[in-house]
Amino acid sequence: MLHRAFVEPLGVWGEVSAPAVPELVGLLGGVSHGAAIGAIGAGASAAVPALEGLLRDPPEPPSRAADVPLAYWKITGDPGPALAAADAAFAGSRPFREWRGLGDLGHHAAAHADRLRALLDSRDDWTRVEAAHALYRVTGERDEAADILRGAVFPLAVGEYLPARWAALRHLRAMPDGPENWHRVLRELLDSDRRHGYWAGRPRIAEDRELRTPATGILES
């Protein structure tokens, strides 16, 4: 079996990973495997029967099923199962992992915009960040989402290193830029000699690089 560490890069490589589809089909139902096969897109059509089986009989725990409807959408172009899964996630107050893929559906998920907007006031950092990102991708409205994401990034300047803040910065990098007054925070991060990271040791070096790349990109855009 392919270990998760080998599966995730296949998703990053996207459609060029199509030759690995037969191996991935056998792993469907595992965490991240659905995301990887979905990233391959139409080239993973051989996985459709297996995905349809998982849609009928989802794997447990629910977190393992979260990527299946989105993979089906990316391969077939049918958003129905993903929208139904989002409906169920909102109705059951499930964690963001099970609805954050709404952003991938774009305008197909417009009916969920108000639900996403309501989550911008959540006390949970991850929920606010992923709801803002999904809302922007569903509606195309930048200002409200960007305010939430910038608010999540600001504490990095005072050493509050939580993983959700890295995600917020990546999401901002993919959006049209906003007011320049927040660039000061990014410049402080880049000018600092401190290694920015949540984890100690070698992982912090990679985290620091992961922060500096999008911060530099935003300032140069």
* Domain spans, the chain: 1-78
- Output the six-digit token pair for 136: 């922007």
Residue 70 has pLDDT above 70, yes or no: yes
Instruction: List all residues 6 or more positions away from 171 whose beta carbon is below 8 Å from its beta carbon.
Output: 129, 132, 133, 136, 149
pLDDT of residue 1: 46
Confidence grade of residue 203 (pLDDT, cut at 50, 70, 90): low
- When the pLDDT of each residue in the chain is averaged and rounded to a whole number, the result is 79
Confidence grade of residue 214 (pLDDT, cut at 50, 70, 90): confident
Question: Which helix H or strand E contains 135, and what residues bound it?
Answer: helix 125-139
- Output the six-digit token pair for 22: 């037969």
3-state secondary structure of 28: strand
* Integer Cα distance of 162 and 133 in angstroms: 17
Between 123 and 63, name the one with better pLDDT: 123
Confidence grade of residue 132 (pLDDT, cut at 50, 70, 90): very high
The position carrying tokens 């270990």 is 3
pLDDT of residue 81: 92
pLDDT of residue 4: 54
* Integer Cα distance of 125 and 104 in angstroms: 20
3-state secondary structure of 30: strand
Between 77 and 16, name the one with better pLDDT: 77
Please compute the mean of the pLDDT values over residues 72-96 and round it to a whole number: 83
